[in-house]
A and B are shown apart, each in its own frame.
Chain A
């Protein structure tokens, strides 16, 4: 199959080269993943000292808990907003970068740097700048729009601040991939659009977006996974899931159940549910794109 695969002739040699990877994925990835499945069927008592097999009771408990179902709904809403927001802004910036003819290299670095932004830094900085009492953003938003902002007590506002932080962090990544996709648009097509007098924004929506669809699908998948798993630091630093669970996404609930309440069986069941949801969403997104994307 492979073009070079007869270069060396030693099965033992091949396995020796693979050994570090196989040991690492076995010990740190597959073994714990399977253990998660097993633990999800147990109940833990006395701070994890005692366990008892309970079958699917953990799952039943979660699926009948209003708090947990609320957290699931919240996570889906959060993912939808973060994915849509970071893709839309990313597309806008990537398109401008594609169009601009002077200073491209400097603009590029200035636009993609949030790729390096640590989530904890994004959370801490926005916690301060949007702080209900000392934040400069809050101050001017209130002054200009005549509204009263207090996301420490108003749930949807906390949710919005969290979403802004997550989008901010993710835009750089999206710009890189979108610009790479735009650069692959054949030059002849640009010229054809030009001759037909297609206006700029129409060209983006009608010509470029369909051509970029494989990249866009990939980014939807990656951004969804990020929204599900990557926002933990934001929640932990900014809201701790509050006010009254308004930002209690699944990853945070999982952390609390495991490491604050020592409910390891229940937390493992939550891990399994997270895995199934993300795997399912990924599968659906790939299937839908198979039908509509122009590969």
Chain B
């Protein structure tokens, strides 16, 4: 930032040189904090390669002799592959569904004039105040009454409406230049065509950002799937972590295997975060 032209760089060069005279404490602080935050997962990863006796040798933090065998075992014998697939289906359906539904709502709120608009917008925003635990008992009963228990519908339906997505998309649409909207109006295109041809291409960054936020959110859900899915085959991977807890024999828990499950469960949202960090940070108001 401070390396513009040599001539007027003088004031900011002074700033740089004196604001942070020596950056090594900053680097040390960052590396220290990052290691501290990452250490549980690094240890979990190392121990996911260990056999039961190696894990019970507490101070042994070398690579284990099981290699990736724990991963294979946890994916097949302990059904983590199918839990992960269930989670993936749930997360993709929630992500696509939530964004589609919210895009339609945002178009109505920005490009139309109609009665009760503000009231409806408020009604959508106020849903932030009623997270799942506030309505969990009736929601559970509703799913049972509709015969939705143990189905994808129950896993995804309650997550479709989103105050955050509608709010952010609305803000984004409001900032679109008048000229673009006017030309679309003159061409006489319908709202869906306008959405598909103009708004979505213009909002790629915002939509990817919302997409990755929603995907991570959906993948990490625990309480609702725990309650509404009782059929183990249909369960998501977060609750699968709970099934794994009892793995082991002769009173010795196979922690290496459980850590392999934990690493696998973290992988998809972590990859999504790293791959889409640009749009994610931008959506949160932090351009990279």
Interface residues of A (CB under 8 A from B): 2-11, 13-15, 17-18, 20-22, 24-25, 27-33, 35-36, 39, 89, 92-93, 96-97, 99-103, 105, 107-126, 128-129, 131, 134-136, 139, 168, 171, 176-177, 179-180, 183, 187, 190-191, 194, 225, 229, 232-233, 236-237, 251, 254-255, 258-259, 264, 267-268, 271-272, 274-275, 278-279, 282
Return the contact of A29 from the options B12, B127, B219, B239 (Cβ within 8 A): B127
Mask: chain B, 1-36; 1 = CB below 8 Å from A; 0 = not: 000000000011011101110010011011001100
Q: Give Cα distance in the complex from A187 to B11, angstroms.
A: 11
B286 to chain A, nearest CB (A): 4
Most chain B CB within a 10 A radius of its CB, from A32, A122, A258, A275:
A32
Provide the residues of chain A in CB contact with B174, threshold 8 Å. Answer: 2-4
Q: Nearest B residue to A259 by beta-carbon distance? A: B227
Provide the residues of chain A in CB contact with B255, threshold 8 Å. Answer: 128, 131, 134
Given known A4-B173, A8-B112, A101-B23, contact A118–B15 (CB-CB < 8 A): no
Provide the residues of chain A in CB contact with B107, threshold 8 Å. Answer: 17
Provide the residues of chain A in CB contact with B244, threshold 8 Å. Answer: 124
Whether B223 and A233, one on each chain, are in contact in the complex, defined by CB atoms closer than 8 angstroms, is yes
Given known A117-B266, A129-B43, A180-B286, contact A4–B222 (CB-CB < 8 A): no
Mask: chain B, 28-60; 1 = CB below 8 Å from A; 0 = not: 011001100110110110010000000110110
Number of interface residues of B (CB under 8 A): 106
Judge if B80 is at the interface, Cβ distance under 8 Å.
Answer: no
Return the contact of B37 from the options A3, A97, A111 (Cβ within 8 A): A111
Whether B33 and A128, one on each chain, are in contact in the complex, defined by CB atoms closer than 8 angstroms, is no
Whether B105 and A233, one on each chain, are in contact in the complex, defined by CB atoms closer than 8 angstroms, is no
Whether A254 and B133, one on each chain, are in contact in the complex, defined by CB atoms closer than 8 angstroms, is yes
Q: Nearest B residue to A228 by beta-carbon distance? A: B133
Q: Give Cα distance in the complex from A187 to B14, angstroms.
A: 13
Q: Give Cα distance in the complex from A251 to B226, angstroms.
A: 14
Whether A5 and B133, one on each chain, are in contact in the complex, defined by CB atoms closer than 8 angstroms, is no
Most chain B CB within a 10 A radius of its CB, from A31, A89, A96, A123:
A96
Q: Give Cα distance in the complex from A259 to B226, angstroms.
A: 10
Q: Which of the segments B69-77, B158-166, B200-208 contacts the partner chain?
A: B158-166
Q: Nearest A residue to B256 by beta-carbon distance? A: A128
Provide the residues of chain B in CB contact with A101, threshold 8 Å. Answer: 16, 20, 23
Q: Give Cα distance in the complex from A113 to B12, angstroms.
A: 32
Q: Nearest B residue to A118 by beta-carbon distance? A: B220
Whether A13 and B43, one on each chain, are in contact in the complex, defined by CB atoms closer than 8 angstroms, is no
Whether A236 and B226, one on each chain, are in contact in the complex, defined by CB atoms closer than 8 angstroms, is yes
Q: Nearest A residue to B166 by beta-carbon distance? A: A21
Whether B242 and A236, one on each chain, are in contact in the complex, defined by CB atoms closer than 8 angstroms, is yes
Whether A271 and B58, one on each chain, are in contact in the complex, defined by CB atoms closer than 8 angstroms, is no
A130 to chain B, nearest CB (A): 9
Provide the residues of chain B in CB contact with A258, threshold 8 Å. Answer: 136-137, 140
**5 cross-chain CB contacts under 8 A:** A28-B139, A35-B137, A113-B273, A119-B220, A233-B238
Return the contact of A191 from the options B15, B123, B173, B191 (Cβ within 8 A): B15
Given known A116-B269, A116-B273, A271-B137, contact A22–B120 (CB-CB < 8 A): yes
Q: Nearest B residue to A276 by beta-carbon distance? A: B134
B250 to chain A, nearest CB (A): 14
Whether A18 and B120, one on each chain, are in contact in the complex, defined by CB atoms closer than 8 angstroms, is yes
Provide the residues of chain B in CB contact with A110, threshold 8 Å. Answer: 34, 38
Whether A5 and B111, one on each chain, are in contact in the complex, defined by CB atoms closer than 8 angstroms, is yes
Provide the residues of chain A in CB contact with B196, threshold 8 Å. Answer: none
Q: Give Cα distance in the complex from A143 to B208, angstroms.
A: 48
Provide the residues of chain A in CB contact with B108, threshold 8 Å. Answer: 13-15, 17-18
Whether A128 and B258, one on each chain, are in contact in the complex, defined by CB atoms closer than 8 angstroms, is yes
Q: Give Cα distance in the complex from A15 to B191, angstroms.
A: 13
Given known A21-B161, A101-B20, contact A11–B114 (CB-CB < 8 A): yes
Q: Nearest A residue to B272 by beta-carbon distance? A: A116
Whether B137 and A183, one on each chain, are in contact in the complex, defined by CB atoms closer than 8 angstroms, is no
Provide the residues of chain B in CB contact with A264, threshold 8 Å. Answer: 137, 141
Provide the residues of chain A in CB contact with B18, threshold 8 Å. Answer: 194
Interface residues of B in 161-191 (CB under 8 A from A): 161, 166, 173-174, 176, 178, 181, 184-185, 191
Judge if B101 is at the interface, Cβ distance under 8 Å.
Answer: yes
Mask: chain B, 135-152; 1 = CB below 8 Å from A; 0 = not: 111111110000000000
Provide the residues of chain B in CB contact with A100, threshold 8 Å. Answer: 23, 26-27, 30
Q: Nearest B residue to A169 by beta-carbon distance? A: B220
Whether B185 and A96, one on each chain, are in contact in the complex, defined by CB atoms closer than 8 angstroms, is no
Q: Give Cα distance in the complex from A114 to B47, angstroms.
A: 20
Provide the residues of chain A in CB contact with B184, threshold 8 Å. Answer: 7
Provide the residues of chain B in CB contact with A236, threshold 8 Å. Answer: 222, 226, 242
Given known A92-B33, A119-B220, A120-B222, contact A125–B262 (CB-CB < 8 A): yes
Q: Nearest A residue to B11 by beta-carbon distance? A: A191
Q: Give Cα distance in the complex from A128 to B255, angstroms.
A: 7
Q: Give Cα distance in the complex from A237 to B40, angstroms.
A: 17
Given known A5-B111, A17-B191, A225-B131, contact A176–B286 (CB-CB < 8 A): yes
Whether B136 and A120, one on each chain, are in contact in the complex, defined by CB atoms closer than 8 angstroms, is no
A186 to chain B, nearest CB (A): 13
Provide the residues of chain B in CB contact with A267, threshold 8 Å. Answer: 136-137
